[in-house]
Amino acid sequence: METTLRGVGVSHGVAIGEVRHMGTAVLEPPARQITADEAAREQGRARQAVSAVAADLVARGQLAGGEAQHVLEAQAMIAEDPELMADVDRRIAVGSTAERGVYDAFAAYRDLLAGAGEYMAGRVADLDDVRNRIVARLLGVPMPGVPDSDEPYVLIARDLAPADTALLDPALVLGFVTEEGGPTSHSAILARALGVPAIVALPGAGEIAEGTMIAVDGSTGDLFVDPSPQKRAELEAAAAERKAALAASSGPGATSDGHKVPLLANVGGPADVPAAVEAGAEGVGLFRTEFLFLDDSRKAPSEEKQIESYRKVLEAFPQGRVVVRVLDAGADKPLDFLTPGDEPNPALGVRGLRSLLDHPDVLRTQLTALAKAAEGLPVYLEVMAPMVADRIDAKAFADACREAGLKAKFGAMVEIPSAALRARSILQEVEFLSLGTNDLAQYAFAADRQVGAVSRLQDPWQPALLDLIAMSADAAKAEGKSCGVCGEAASDPLLACVLTGLGVTSLSMGAASIPYVRATLAKYTLAQCERAAAAARAADSAEEARVAAQAVLSGE
């Protein structure tokens, strides 16, 4: 009998196939005591296992490339964290085996994250995955992971670590569903990059029996168990219609009546550029430069290394617009040389622009590198600061840009509600705004963007979030300046129409989403988008807002 479950759709498309479940998690190792004479040997075993796992993660990243590579290299850094290894050594010295020492050290670090207000809870899946890989290696058992299968299937898991998601084979894994996670988790972002239909935050998905036929709609978040032939036909027809629309869509982003909405790509470095160019991106709306800095958390990359990386991206978009976000460190992206290690709640502490203003030499080097990288190129370079709270922040950033001799537009990200509320004030110092909807939702609703239990409040359709977006867009229009969106909200084709109706002037997203957004925007006039935006803002919940906007655009 057909039943329907609802999670959070995070990657477009339809997948129909049999269920395969992720392998069982590594069991807790026994608490066996060792003698003092065995300690040195066990410490050596632990270090060898850690080094092997870190090397494997780096190798997986190199195979995957793009943003996945940055994520996996960050995981490798977790594995070799000096403080974690020192804790492992201490535990072995007082009688733990290598595997038990690793298990307990990671458990203590896990508790530390929870005690820090759970902002970093979204990295618990990454932490658990690293621990499991090390413990499995020490125990000599296979690492749980994506199941072996000769036939295509839909994967169901409690959560997916980036190391698993990055190397999924789209020819075999038709789509995936997780019980935990959120729309901005690493797995969701990587799923969009792979073009694999995916649903996250669907409690109870793990109870679906192995081999059950299911249909996954990554656009709506609906999962159909034992779908009827009629339902399968409907979904397949809808998927075919989407595919035809994508094939027919090309050129710059615009509504059906010609209102231009530039469609830009989010990139983490040169490796992400080919996909953006292939998707027809009109430029880059978010160049996440922190991935370059995460290669070594102990020191900033040299000016020469930065120039080389930046220039490769700038050269890919001659006559195009490239918006660079300066280093956004802190919270879930700590850097030893930059961010404090003892903050009670890193999400509300010294992160983003605050870190850079505390270390002006790091900011100056990055801005100088950007200025040199753009020399002689016809690209339209724009540089923006993360985590701008008020006009004082905006002025400090603009002054730093001018002092570095940067010939570019200076902008501010709107990720803190105060920036949306005082957008006109901020625009007295900078030339554009860019809405980071992921963090803006997190701070507006006090809802950690990585915790599946509060994913309802992370839904970008929340009317209160749409209000903050509208306030920012209205302020930019009043000042004759631009206001784009570079958060994951822009990757939802229907929401892209609503954002356009709210007055947003450009949309930036993962490259895989650009064709979907382009094709959907081209179906509606600006007036229809404005009416859909008004209907969404008048709703009382995210689901009501989505339904209301859809009703307007479908003419109901």
- Indicate if 486 belongs to the active site: yes
| Cα 304-508-259 angle, rounded to 5 deg | 130
Q: What are phi and psi of 349, to 5 degrees?
A: -115, -135
Catalytic residue (choose from 12, 359, 401, 486)? 486
Is residue 101 left, alpha or beta, with left meaning phi > 0 and alpha meaning psi from -120 to 50? alpha
Q: What residue type is 351 in one-letter code?
A: R
Using alpha carbons, list the distances in angstroms from residue 492 to 49, 70, 485: 41, 24, 12
Q: From residue 250, give the alpha-carbon distance in Å to each of 12, 278, 427, 520.
A: 18, 11, 33, 12
21 is known as an active-site residue? no
> How far apart are alpha carbons 323 and 266 in whole angstroms?
9
Q: Specify which residues 16 forms β-bridges with.
A: 215
Q: Could you please report the per-residue DSSP string of 528-540?
A: HHHHHHHHHHTSS
> Alpha-carbon distance 504 to 502, whole Å?
6
Q: Which of 12, 70, 186, 359 is catalytic?
A: 186
DSSP code string of 206-257 = GGSPTT-EEEEETTTTEEEES--HHHHHHHHHHHHHHHHHHHH--SS-B-TT
Question: CA-to-CA distance for 308 and 312, rounded, in angstroms?
Answer: 6
Tell me how far apart the alpha carbons of residues 536 and 552 are, in angstroms, rounded to a whole number: 9
What is residue 302's three-state secondary structure? Answer: coil
**Active site residue ranges:** 186, 486
